[in-house]
Amino acid sequence: MRTSDLYGGYVTETGTSIAAPHVSGALALLLGAFPGLTADQQAAALEGAAADLGTPGVDADFGYGRLDVLAAYQHLATTPDYTLSLAPTSVTVAAGGSTSYTVSVNAVNGFAGDVSLSVAGLPASVGSATFSPAVVTGSGTSTLAITTDATAVPGSYPLALTGTSGATTHTATATLVVPAPPDFTLAAAPSAQTVNAGATANYTVSVGSLNGFTGDVALSLAGLPGSVGAATFTPATVSTAGTSQLTIATAATAPGGTYQLTVTGTSGAITRTATVGLTVRARDFTLSASPSSISVIRGQTASYSVAVGSLGGFAGNVTLSVSGVPSGSIVSWSANPVAAPGSSTLRVRTTGSTLRGTFTVRVTGKSGTLVHQVSVTLIVR
């Protein structure tokens, strides 16, 4: 190839480093005259119009032959051919839906052949494609119809359209987008609460919209025993997106424990869940007595301080009783029943007829179904 050198003259060079710009310049000229040339058309024009050298046909020494840009131009200007296009270049269709593209075949230089159409890039699990018609003669259009499967995986699928007429093949590309289906999110806060039996726990349930979701989400709760309390949602249904307050009113008699609660949101066939924890401190009382042991001589009085404590907000009355005192003794209380939290004094007055010995005295406190006991020792000498 004859080319300019670094010193203002001309030289003849060989090799790909000089062949590549030579070919690029030739293509620039051809594209100036025919701006719509595809890569296949560009290659065919240069290869078909090259002056064959050496052994006839393509060979390892001369390839297709010497480049002839004028012959390539004349080849393009007179050879029957066609162009292929696909519109629109991108379509979005939901899973289970249908869409279509318009395939256009335009004849060049009197082309009148049949162009067979095919498409690649559409997985069978995503959908199916049909052409109507599947063959275009000369110039014309065809409709590429695509029906997506109801279970199609969301994603972007590049489609490659191919038109074939004899040995001539042209391609065009487009994109099929299958969006994620409408959905919603569900969350609840706080994640856990602790309350006394009889108190109320409140949670905020949040519904979010995904991919254009606009449905109604019905809320429900599972995991709360009836003996623990009752739950209400305000509102019970959230439209599109928003919040609802979950209120749990625990029973005064609720047993203590930790409960895992499941909030469920349902919209048609879509179900989402969120979990929260509820710890209930049962209402109860404690019972203690001091001192733990008293020694008296017959005729003296032993006095014990009995304390009633409150657990989980307990505020009821506790009725006290005693057992195990020696016969011949007289028992009295400074207060009975005792309002929790509070205390009473147990007095055991011995007499001359009281038995001597060591006795285990049991103090019992009772409030409804709640019963607790504590023991002290009485020594009578």
Q: Which residues contact 290 (CB under 8 A, 6 or more apart)?
A: 304, 305, 307, 376
3-state secondary structure of 44: helix
pLDDT digits (tens, 9 = 90+) for 338-379: 999 999 999 999 999 999 999 999 999 999 989 999 999 999
Secondary structure (3-state) at 376: strand
CATH code reported for the domain at 82-178: 2.60.40.2310
pLDDT of 251 above 90: yes
Rounded Cα distance, 23 and 72, in Å: 12
Q: Which pLDDT score is estimated for 201?
A: 97
Helix (H) or strand (E) holding 45: helix 39-49
> Which residues are CB-neighbours of 20 under 8 A, at least 6 positions away?
none
Identify the DSSP state of 324.
Answer: -
Given this model, what pLDDT does residue 284 score? 94
Q: Smallest Cα–Cα separation from 229: which of 202, 205, 257, 252?
A: 252
Fold annotation for 284-380: Immunoglobulin-like (2.60.40)
The beta strand positions in 251-341, using DSSP E, are 257-267, 270-281, 284-290, 293-296, 301-311, 317-323, 330-333, 338-339
CA–CA distance, 333 with 373 (Å, rounded to integer): 16
Task: Report how far residue 59's alpha carbon sits from residue 53's, in angstroms, rounded to the nearest whole number.
Answer: 9
Contact assessment for residue 175 and residue 126, using Cβ atoms and an 8 Å cutoff? no
What pLDDT shows up at residue 213? 95
pTM of the model: 0.61
pLDDT reading at 36 higher than 80? no
* Number of neighbouring beta carbons within 10 Å of residue 168: 17
Structure tokens at 265: 């949101």
Model confidence over 277-289: pLDDT tens digits?
Answer: 999 999 999 999 9
Contact 30, 37 (CB under 8 A): yes
Q: How far is CA 313 from the centre of its chain?
A: 41
Its CATH architecture, for the domain 183-281, is Sandwich (2.60)
Q: What is the mean pLDDT of residues 190-213?
A: 96
What's the rounded Cα separation, in Å, for the pair 246 and 375? 45
Where along the chain do the CATH 2.60.40.10 domains lie?
183-281, 284-380
Confidence at 156, pLDDT banded by 50, 70, 90: very high
pLDDT at 203: 98
Nearest to 361 by CA among 286, 318, 304, 317: 304
| Torsion (CA) 133, 135, 138, 144 in degrees, nearest 10 | 50
Given this model, what pLDDT does residue 239 score? 97
Residue 1 has pLDDT above 90, yes or no: no
The 10 Å Cβ neighbour count of residue 269 is: 5
User: What pLDDT shows up at residue 270?
Assistant: 96
Q: For residues 315 and 327, give the distance between their C-alpha atoms in angstroms, rounded to a whole number.
A: 35
Query: In terms of Cα–Cα distance, which of 347, 346, 345, 354 is closest to 299?
Result: 354
Give 98-134 pLDDT, tens digit per residue: 999 999 999 988 999 999 999 999 999 999 999 999 9
Return residue ranges of the chain for CATH 2.60.40.2310.
Answer: 82-178
Q: List pLDDT tens digits, range 130-153.
A: 999 999 999 999 999 999 999 999
Write down the pLDDT at residue 25: 93
Average pLDDT over the chain reads 94
Kind of pairing between the strands at 168-178 and 90-92: parallel
